[in-house]
Structure formats: structure tokens, C-alpha cells
Structure 1
Amino acid sequence: MYCPEVFAETRSEILRALNQRYPLATLVSMGANGLEANHILLYLAPGE
């Protein structure tokens, strides 16, 4: 996925805090019957 540099976040402490605060993501893809939305629980293992 293209992410312009101005919007990129690489600081691990910020990404970890974001993941802890909002642990649910929605993956939208094109399937045989059109758009499909799936909810995915995010998990970041300690120390990673």
C-alpha cells in the first residue's frame, strides 16, 4: 500500500499505543460477490 512519507509513522512507541487503543481493524477486499468487509483483531506481541 502506498503511504506518502508525510503520513508515515515509524516510531514504535506511537504505533504500539495506537494498536493498544484501537485493536480492531477492517479489511475490505473485492470478492466474487462484490466488496467484502472483515473485522480483524490486532495483536502485537510484547517486545516486537
Structure 2
Amino acid sequence: MNDYNDINKIIEDYPFDEDNPFLAEAPSEEKIYTREDFVNDEDE
């Protein structure tokens, strides 16, 4: 049951914009991967 509590803690720690949750900033230390990143890696 600890997994459920860990998930809740992660959600609490994540930046959240109540007005528009989908535009909330991701933590700056994490890289956000886009489809282009994976396509470029395959080409090299």
C-alpha cells in the first residue's frame, strides 16, 4: 500500500496551476522529451 502514498506525495510535490493544470511548469532539473528528440537519436 506504500506505492499509493508515494504517488500522492509525488503529485503534491509537482508544480500545479489550479487555473490551468496542463500548463504547469515541469521541474527544471528534468528534461522533457519530445518526439523529435527520439527521432534525432535514431538518425545519428
TM-score w.r.t. length of structure 2: 0.30
Q: Whose strand fraction is larger, Structure 1's or Structure 2's?
A: 1
Relative contact order higher in (CA < 8 Å, ≥ 6 apart): 1
Q: Whose helix fraction is larger, Structure 1's or Structure 2's?
A: 2
Structure of greater Rg: 2
TM-score w.r.t. length of structure 1: 0.28
